[in-house]
Amino acid sequence: MAVAALLYAVAAWTVAPGFYDGFGPPQPYNWTCPPSQAGANSPPSSGHLTIKVIDGVSDANSAFTDDGQLVIGFLPGAFVVDGKSSITVDVKPLGSCPEPAGLRFVTNIYQVTASASLDPQKAANLVLRYSNLEPDPSNVYTATDPAGPWSAMARSQQGQPFTIETRTTRFGYFAAGYPASAPPPGAVTIGGGQALPIIAAILVAVVVLAGLPLAVMRRREKRTQR
Amino acid sequence: MRAGLLVLFVLLVEWSRASIAQQPRLALPALLVGGAALAASAIGWPAERLGLGTSRFGLRILGGLALGAVLVLPAAARSSAVPLLPAGLAVAAVAVSVGEELAFRGALYAALEELGGAPVAVLGSTLLWTLAHVLSHPPEFLGAVAAAGLLLALWRWACRDLVAPILGHVIADLAL
């Protein structure tokens, strides 16, 4: 069992976050600036969408990045078309990771642009996927410039696990995060760094120490029964 | 015959659960129903054959806490914190982890043990557990899944106990 525990520790260490049972994100997050605990990283994708305008009304459609980390959905007639025959929407991850004062982002920053503005009465639904390597975000933040200022957007009810949703009536920069002054939501620090190898060794020992007497007693019972 | 039917049933439930959980807003019902269906595979087995019982209960609980800590440790070490599951999924996580243990280390283990003894039960339940996670996990995670399955199956064999694997699995799923 000790060997199996060590085998597991090695196998789980090579992939982030290690053991999980399908409740986490279906695929690893693609980071612009991967956190130190992330394993192998692929760069985040961008996305492009062309929306048809029929009889002066833009179609319902969704723009998304190829890795699905940002999805923005538009209602029929969501755009102010101004005689256009089609509308283009582009989603691009920002190539850098600015850290605005007082905020801690847990996703990449994405720029969403379109060739027409949104009808304020028909807000677009924006979904950001986040990683389970970081604490849950409390809000989606938006800005017209990555340098800020960033403002929090009203959060919609959560749909899929490890996603955060909001509604927007304008384009710009979007990222999910939480106020840096608040304790990170959903994380319990258990210590790190040099203490961890010791903790690992102790835990493996506990598995063996708890299992050994139980195993011996159970097998003695079986022998006695025979 | 019984082992074959059990294998088919459990794999079908796990793959259906994983596929349905990908649909928007169906994740929670899929996890809850999937967990209940997996638990149903243990119906008809005597508690002792499943490794359930109350004797040496303190040691079983201690073992479960230790197994849970070992399963969570690599993720905790990476991020210096234990990432916690969103609260809304906690009940589903408990349902799935209890269901999976009753199915894989409980009923399937017992059926395979009848068929070919402990080695077939340990290796067979680990292999099936890994296959069951093929649809819900990216390929690079399957090594860790298999190793976790092997650890839990070895505990089940060595201690003839399912209480500790259930507790350890619940702890790991609540954390991740």
How many helices (H) and strands (E) would you count in chain B?
8, 1
Q: Compute CA distances B98 → B33, B55, B103, B104, B168, whole Å.
A: 12, 20, 9, 10, 10
* CB–CB contact A18 B78 (8 Å): yes
3-state DSSP assignment of residue A161: coil
What is the least distance, in Å, from the CA of B91 to any CA of chain A?
Answer: 12
In 3D space, the residue among B45, B11, B70 whose CA is nearest the CA of residue B162 turns out to be B45
Angle, nearest 10°, between helix axes B142-159 and B109-132?
160
- Residue B144's φ and ψ, nearest 5 degrees, are -65, -40
What pTM was computed for the model?
A: 0.62
* CB–CB contact A23 B93 (8 Å): yes
- Residue A202 to residue A2: CA distance in whole angstroms: 11
Closest in B31, B77, B158 to A196, CB measured = B77
Q: What contacts A40, CB < 8 A, 6 or more positions away?
A: A28
Which residues of chain B are within 8 Å of residue A214 when distances are taken between CB atoms?
A: 56, 59-60, 63, 158-159, 161
Predicted ipTM > 0.90: no
Q: Which residue has the tokens 């959903």?
A: A186
Q: Is the pLDDT of residue B115 over 80?
A: yes
A113 strand-pairing partners:
A90
Which residues of chain B are within 8 Å of residue A218 when distances are taken between CB atoms?
A: 56, 159-161
Which residue intervals of A65-194 are DSSP H helices? none
Q: pLDDT band for position A191 (50/70/90)?
A: very low
What tens digit of pLDDT does each residue of B9-33 get? Answer: 999 998 888 788 766 567 778 888 9
Q: Which of B78, B130, B150 to mutate to test the interface with A (most CBs of A within 10 A)?
A: B78
Output the six-digit token pair for A140. 């989606």
* CB–CB contact B148 A204 (8 Å): no
Q: Compute CA distances B99 → A95, A156, B14, B173, whole Å.
A: 44, 32, 10, 12
What tens digit of pLDDT does each residue of A107-152 get? Answer: 999 999 999 999 999 999 999 998 877 777 888 999 999 988 999 9
Q: Which residue has the higher pLDDT, A140 or A20?
A: A140
DSSP classification of residue A16: S
Q: Which residue has the tokens 């059990």?
A: B6
* CB–CB contact A17 B75 (8 Å): yes
Residue of A nearest to B61 (CA): A210
How far, in whole angstroms, is CA B140 from its chain's centroid?
A: 19
Amino acid identity at B141? F
Residue A80 burial by CB count (10 A; 0-12/13-18/19+): exposed, middle or buried?
Answer: middle
* CB–CB contact B80 A191 (8 Å): yes
Handedness of CA A91, A93, A98, A101 (dihedral sign): positive
- Residue B55 to residue A2: CA distance in whole angstroms: 23
Which residues of chain A are within 8 Å of residue B98 when distances are taken between CB atoms?
A: none
Q: Which residue has the higher pLDDT, A21 or B79?
A: A21
Lowest mean pLDDT of A10-14, A40-44, B43-47, B155-159, name the range. Answer: A10-14
Q: Which of A3, A6, A15, A36 to mutate to test the interface with B (most CBs of B within 10 A)?
A: A15
